[in-house]
Amino acid sequence: LMTLPAQNKLAPFIAKRRTPRIQEQYSRIGGGSPIKKWTAVQGEGMVKLLDSMSPHTAPHKYYIGFRYVHPLTEEAIEEMEQDGIERAIAFTQYPQYSCSTTGSSLNAIYRYYNKKGEKPKMKWSIIDRWPTHPLLIQCFTDHIQKELDLFPPDKRKDVVILFSAHSLPMSVVNRGDPYPQEVGATVQRVMEKLNYSNPYRLVWQSKVGPMPWLGPQTDETIKGLCQRGKKNMLLVPIAFTSDHIETLYELDIEYAQVLANECGVENIRRAESLNGNPLFSKAL
């Protein structure tokens, strides 16, 4: 995301300083991230539906490729080639496109073949974004409504819905990255589906370092709402499709527990991530 002066020397130093804190956060959510488990659940549900919807191209198989943990994208491609796959669809789990997420993952495929100096053996197609897909919007809407119904009836209409997405450095945004607009498009469709039943904000989380990032930040928004007497909130992870450290620790613990207690929040809940929702598998 950011190029640092003397990056080769600074990066290991920063990683060393951050590692103990990250390890502590993972220990608070059970010792590891469930993102691989949920991605597999989603993949299984998707291929089962594809087999019944398109029997002439069955059997379908999913492969998981991560950017920075195993199985890496490159490892997934190698496995696909060994399996003799003829047609492949590179499909992002990020509904909204950003050069730092989807773009980076797709570039990994290009670099894999460029490094090998040969053309792909399989025919590739790409789905690089789907921020307003009707079934995706329905999933978010259902999960939000489910949580809204758990607020006290006399407070329900006053609940402020905080759509929280991973932030980006402004240096990336100012280059024309479409991510903020596509996240906003998702929020717009969800609120239309909810008939604008509640006040809402689009906020951004996970800022790192002193450089300017896309805002307003989720934690600062929670503080500001409390100061104005708005103390009933619903957190919605709008750019994530499964639970991981940014939902289970940052939203659930850091914001919904620690910060909410400090600010005197009356009621705060978090909409369930899409995880194993069968409707989400259908959306995929």
pLDDT above 80: residue 155: yes
- The C-alpha atoms of residue 265 and residue 284 are separated, in whole angstroms, by 36
- Average of pLDDT values for 110-120? 93
Cβ neighbors of 31 (< 8 A, separation 6 or more) are none
- The C-alpha atoms of residue 266 and residue 159 are separated, in whole angstroms, by 10
What are the DSSP calls for 107-144, one per residue? HHHHHHHHHHTS--SSEEEEE---TT-HHHHHHHHHHH
Nearest to 140 by CA among 207, 192, 204, 203: 192
- DSSP reduced 3-state for 98: coil
Domain ranges of the chain: 7-130, 134-282
- Average of pLDDT values for 274-278? 97
Nearest to 59 by CA among 77, 41, 86, 93: 86
pTM of the predicted protein model:
0.90
Q: In which band, very low, low, confident or very high, does the pLDDT at 10 lie, cut at 50, 70 and 90?
A: very low
What are the DSSP calls for 187-201, one per residue? HHHHHHHTTT-S-EE
pLDDT at 39: 96
Choose the CATH number for 7-130 among 3.40.50.1400, 3.30.460.20, 3.40.50.920, 3.10.180.10: 3.40.50.1400
Q: How many helices (H) and strands (E) are present in the chain, helices listed first?
A: 11, 6
pLDDT above 90: residue 70: yes
Domain 7-130 and domain 134-282 have a common topology: yes
